[in-house]
Amino acid sequence: AVNPGRSLFLLYALKSSPRLGLLYLYLFDYTDTFLPFIHTICPLQEDSSGEDIVTKLLDLKEPTWKQWREFLVKYSFLPYQLIAEFAWDWLEVHYWTSRFLIINAMLLSVLELFSFWRIWSRSELKTVPQRMWSHFWKVSTQGLFVAMFWPLIPQFVCNCLFYWALYFNPIINIDLVVKELRRLETQVL
């Protein structure tokens, strides 16, 4: 509610390309969004005698090398797990919303695994750089388009898009996972 544009952007960016979305957070929204995110998913293992969670989130320090290592491994190989871990920490506050985010992150991880398997099994590894570049331009163009027309989009439309992406995309992703499983099953037979 406080940042509707940022929320909608994060929801769609982390769904379609989580690595680019997290890179965007690092480059352009470091203090407000990225630091709390990295400290939530890769917490410091310090003695927290008497310090509550609110105090820790208000006084964020630069991430340590250990936190960066853990983050970069997850960022590279399991980017949706980062989202699921972040949502897991918010279960007490947003019970159902966090559950939907966790389920969606799991489904998107499975879909990404299927994509990698398809590229590997078809021996299309040479096309990966070209696909990555075209995906980058597609996402960048869509982001620029939305940024230009954001002031003209009614708040009701933004809310509809946000809740559609939040609550209905997991259902769509379940269908996509089932289709991929069927496709694998017919390839084996």
- Under DSSP, is residue 47 helix (H, G, I), strand (E, B) or coil? coil
Report the predicted TM-score, pTM, of the whole model to 2 decimal places.
Answer: 0.79
Q: Residue 59: which region, alpha, beta or left (left: phi > 0; alpha: psi -120 to 50)?
A: beta
Reading the chain (189 residues) residue by residue, the pLDDT tens digits are: 567 677 777 788 878 888 888 888 888 888 888 888 898 888 887 645 555 555 656 667 888 999 999 999 999 999 999 989 988 988 888 888 889 989 999 999 999 999 888 888 888 888 888 988 998 898 888 888 888 888 888 888 888 888 888 889 899 999 999 999 998 888 765
Among the listed residues 100, 37, 101, the one whose alpha carbon sits nearest the alpha carbon of residue 70: 37
Range of the domain at 73: 4-188
- b/e code 109-121 from CB counts within 10 Å (16+ = b): bbbeebeeeeeee
Taking the C-alpha atoms of residue 53 and residue 51, their distance in angstroms, rounded to an integer, is: 7
How many domains is the chain built from?
A: 1
Decide if 103 contacts 177 (C-beta within 8 A).
no
